[in-house]
Amino acid sequence: MHTRFVLIDTSHAGNVGAAARALKTMGFDDLVLVSPRWANVLRREETIQRASGALDVLAKARIVDTLDEALEGVHHICATAMTPRDFGPPTLAPREHFATLAQTPQSVAFLFGSERFGMRNEDVYRCHTCLSIPSNPQFGSLNIGAAIQVIAYDWRLALGGFAVHPATTSVQLADAVQVSGMLSHLEQSLVALGFLDPAAPKKLMPRLNQLFNRAGVTQEEVHILRGIAKAILQQSEGMSKGEKPYNSTK
């Protein structure tokens, strides 16, 4: 489903760059500007900086003189406005509308008005729906770049979203033999510390065994724990020979 984002009478170059960045982040690239303040807005330094690398979206973006030109080839038009208009289209939250819209194969345009005045009534009237982003009733004014990001995100979700790819790490779980060897090593160190009485061990080691089974320790973690056990045994051996512990003061 083709998606277009239309900015009308945009006055700040940085917002055009922010719009390009928002579109690229959500996988869209059709940006049209209607009578922006700056004729060279797509090449201004502030625009490029705020785009943060979305230069391909800026390169493809178009500047037109009228909204009719911007909406050529579009079947469904969504205005964005905080307050409903008398005699205007129904006002809906984005996700509420998108759940239905995503099931209809037609091209869609999302319209955003100027930073100072929002959308003109005559532009809202020609739209099929007016989208209102749920926000704090006492402070609902969003920067246009933020508003575009919210709409683009919700629309991408409605279209199926993007898969989240977990970090690829080669984690190898320790097998039963490795866990058993670690437990034996730990048992020796705990005895050396005096924490475990071999004459009355109770259920300490079986409980530790169950703890590590639940944790699903990795081979690297087994090496760490065995290194700790080794250090404890070496320290205990040194103490038995009358050596001072490594952290003792002179």
Distance CA 91, CA 93 (A): 7
Q: What is the average pLDDT across 107-126?
A: 92
**Residue 163: is its pLDDT beyond 60?**
yes
Distance CA 174, CA 217 (A): 6
Domain boundaries, the chain: 3-158, 176-240
DSSP codes, 26-76: TT---EEEES-S-TTGGG-HHHHHHHTT-HHHHHH-EEESSHHHHTTT--E
Position 249 scores a pLDDT of 39
pTM more than 0.75:
no
User: For 81-90, 140-149, 240-249, which range has the lowest pLDDT when averaged over its residues?
Assistant: 240-249
**Residue 105: is its pLDDT beyond 90?**
no
Q: How far is CA 35 from each of CA 3, 28, 70, 154, 166, rounded to the nearest angstrom?
A: 20, 21, 10, 27, 43
Residue range 176-240, CATH number: 1.10.8.590
Distance CA 83, CA 161 (A): 28
Position 137 scores a pLDDT of 81
Asked whether 3 and 129 are in contact (CB, 8 A), the reply is no
Asked whether 34 and 7 are in contact (CB, 8 A), the reply is yes
Within 8 A by CB and 6+ apart from 34, the residues are 6, 7, 8, 9, 64, 65, 66, 67, 69, 70
- What is residue 181's three-state secondary structure? helix
Position 248 scores a pLDDT of 39
| Residue-wise pLDDT tens digits, 127-137 | 999 999 988 88
| Residue-wise pLDDT tens digits, 60-83 | 999 999 999 999 999 999 999 767
Residue range 3-158, CATH number: 3.40.1280.10
Asked whether 38 and 13 are in contact (CB, 8 A), the reply is yes
